[in-house]
Structure 1
Amino acid sequence: MGRLVLLLLCFALIGFEVGLGFRIDENDLTSDESVWGLYDRWRSHHNVSRGYYEKHKRFNVFKQNAKFVHSFNKKGGASYKLQLNRFGDMTNEEFRRFYAGSRVNRLRAAPEAPHGDDSFMYAEADNLPPSIDWRARGAVTGVKDQGHCGSCWAFSTVVAVEGINQIKTNKLVSLSEQELIDCDNKANQGCNGGLMEYAFEFIKQNGGITTEENYPYKAQNGKCDALKMNMHDVTIDGHQNVPTNNEAALMQAAAHQPISVAIDASGSAFQFYSEGVFTGDCGTELDHGVAVVGYGATDLGDKYWIVKNSWGVGWGEQGYIKMARGISDKRGLCGIAMQASYPVKNSTSVAANNQVPRS
């Protein structure tokens, strides 16, 4: 069967995170005056600048979102909570349209798509650990922020490459998303979206990828720096795809390395996720690239995936979300098992193919 390809526009963020938690009290919603006070505190907390007319235009949107978040949390009974993050004065329709609109080239048959080596190296893996967290094993860099750029595909790719490189070499190296945005442009489209499988193929064909320090992130499309692109600090030998719609296979892979996955992140609950095991409503129109960096279960037995996002540390659990694992839908929650892939690295050398000396 042909591989379904997703060109991810991603969910870009405006600005950079400066605050973490933001709480709502019952008294904050008793009148328009109290909601205005809440709105002022929210804008200050998240460093959101709004002109006079824009503030008044956004006020009712903010009020509805504040009521939604407070009502959900007050009702209780769910395994997760919500919070007024920096999307607080944006409607979900705007959120969908602006960050996952018609520019997304969603699921389509694409025979030209990279298929990896058409095998799954973990197919026979058994005796898997009941839980694993690649952060605790030193294979995950800090949470990054893609800013106002639809580059989630590059961040998802880099998480997986950073992970397998650390596993093979015992060295954690923060790699350059900007190199992928600027230079991997034959199929991917920089801040206008891309696909992790194309990015893995680019890194392989290019002979490697350089560091974030050498080619820092700009949150915008730029001209490819050929010199930096040819500084191959980390190499991979290719990539493989996880069998489609198979959470058991995804678990086999995630037990061995971080995995790039695509999800539907357009729902209101996902928009305002704060903590806990997410079980909210979401579809399977894949529009966002993230990475599975582990899995586990709560004391109550709720199974989850540990997912690293690229919206800064102020979203979710310090930039992460626990997404329910083992649901009845074979596609997984939000389509997490629909299109997963991972890089293959056989060498234990950090830069086996580096041909360019540093000055």
Structure 2
Amino acid sequence: MAISKFILVPFLLIVLVSGLGESFEFDEKELATEESLWRLYERWGNHHTISRGLKEKHKRFNVFKENVNHVFTVNQMNKPYKLKLNKFADMSNSEFVSFYARSNISHYRKLHGKRSGGFMYEQATDLPSYIDWRERGAVNDIKEQGKCGSCWAFSTVAAVEGINQIKTNQLLSLSEQELLDCNFRNKGCNGGFMEIAFDFIKRNGGIATENNYPYHGARGLCRSSRISSPTVTIDGYESVPENENALMQAVANQPVSVAIDAVGRDFQFYSQASLGFIREIDWLTIIISSGNVNLKSVGKVQGVFDGYCGTELNHGVVAIGYGTTEEGTDYWMVRNSWGVGWGEEGYVRMKRGVEKAEGLCGIVMEASYPIKY
């Protein structure tokens, strides 16, 4: 018995640090010269398995240098989040935005003049102080849209997957590709609206599973032969009033599609969760008492994004929860579609309770959710 107590400590440390294997760290010394920066660039490319021809590498090297300096500079600041050199590190911000944040969804309600439907959660009171729909089995693994402006489809599908699990206790992975190919009122890889996609699913009698209609990241012919039962149906959708309390009422009951302004450079390289940026365990105290091992943080739990962004909505994501850090910072837990290498393994905690009525990055301006009775 005594041996097992002592084995637990290194094992626990291995578990904690093993999650860092996917992160890419660099040292200030690597920024000192062009030669060291070039070696860093090559090491970054090998880490992310990004292959470029020599001419293209030289072209993108200057962009990479700018991004490295930005990430390093921001990480020296007293911000409640950190950045990392993810797979987007040799893309300029404008190039990044053109590929990954181009849904052009900012004027949907302006075009329609009002919100769609009522608001079934208007009378919801006594809301929980914390909810994460991943813990309740209503959120699938992170997906990746690729170089296709299909975030609106991923946002729509994740919200439908969530309400279907809540109502049926069955979490299915549904088809973003069907929306790209068959939802003609939206524009495929050139952007779309979640509310239009909800309406399509209702009118179409459901949406296919991902297995039956897999994603390939480009708009193609609508392949109705791929759409076979069982499909997941919804009974409609509603828009959330444009305030944070209403969004809390909705998210407390189901995952909610939201639109944000995602063009900021910090958002492009957002990284940190409470354990996602540690290089050492020096901020953890291992307390061994009577054979029990406890972990106590002696530093700040970071990771809540509060960086620069506007309200020109251009990216569809999903609010899958909310909470408050130990330091008292309120946040939204948001699911993205840029793969697990971005953010907190595909997620971002965005500051909640900001002074601006539209919420951080406009998160409350275009929220909507599917209805399933």
User: TM-score normalized by structure 2?
Assistant: 0.83
Partner of 2:309: 282
Task: Look up the SS of the partner of 2:271 in the other structure.
Answer: strand
8 A contact 1:265–1:287 mirrored in 2: yes
For residues 98 and 175 of structure 1, the distance between their equivalents in structure 2, rounded to whole angstroms, comes to 23
Task: Give the structure with the larger helix fraction.
Answer: 2
- What's 1:52 paired with? 54
Cα offset for 1:107?
Answer: 2.1
Residues 155 and 105 of structure 1, relative CA distance in 2, 3 Å threshold: closer
CA deviation after TM superposition for structure 1 residue 206, in Å: 0.7
Q: 8 Å contact 1:176–1:215 — kept in the other structure?
A: yes
Q: Does 1:315 align with 2:342?
A: yes
Structure of greater Rg: 2
- Deviation per CA, 1:137-169: give whole Å up to 9, x if none: 000000000112111000000110000000001
Determine if contact 2:157/2:176 at 8 Å carries over to the other structure: yes
SS, match of residue 110 in structure 1: helix
Q: Supply the AA of the counterpart residue of 1:264.
A: D
Q: 1:71: which partner in 2?
A: 73
Cα deviation, 1:252-296, whole Å, max 9, x if unaligned, reads: 000000000000000000000001000000010000000000001
2:321 matched residue in structure 1: 294
- Matched residue of 1:24: which SS? coil
Matched residue type, 2:356: D
Could you tell me which runs of 5 or more consecutive residues in structure 2 were left unpaired when the two chains were aligned.
1-20, 273-302
Aligned-pair identity in percent equals: 59
Matched-pair contact (CA < 8 Å) for 1:260–1:341: yes
| Superposed displacement of residue 222, structure 1 | 1.2
- Answer yes or no: is the 8 Å Cα contact 1:290–1:309 preserved in 2: yes
Maintained 8 Å contact 1:207/1:232: no
Check whether the contact 2:105–2:313 (CA below 8 A) recurs between aligned residues: no
Cα distance change on mapping 1:210 and 1:100 into 2, 3 Å: closer
Letter in 2 for 1:140: V
* AA in 2 matched with 1:38: L
- What residue in structure 2 maps to residue 189 of structure 1? 187
What amino acid does structure 2 have at the position aligned with 1:149? C
**How has the CA–CA distance of structure 1 residues 96 and 144 changed in structure 2, closer, same or farther, with 3 Å as cutoff?**
closer
Please give the alpha-carbon distance, in whole angstroms, between the structure 2 residues aligned to 1:254 and 1:61: 38
Change (3 A) 1:180 1:150: same
Runs of 4 or more, structure 1, over 4 Å off, are 97-101
8 Å CA contact 1:176, 1:210 repeated in 2 = yes
Cα RMSD (Å): 1.6
8 Å Cα contact 2:100-2:147 kept in structure 1: no
Q: Is residue 333 of structure 2 the alignment partner of residue 306 of structure 1?
A: yes
Show the counterpart of 2:365.
338
Provide the aligned length of Structure 1 versus Structure 2. Answer: 322
- What is residue 84 of structure 2 aligned with on the other side? 83
Per the alignment, in what secondary structure is the counterpart of residue 273 of structure 1? coil
Q: Which deviations, in whole Å up to 9, do the C-alpha atoms of 1:153-195 show, x marking residues without a partner? A: 000001100000000011101111011111111x101111111
How far apart, in 2, do the equivalents of 1:284 and 1:263 lie?
7
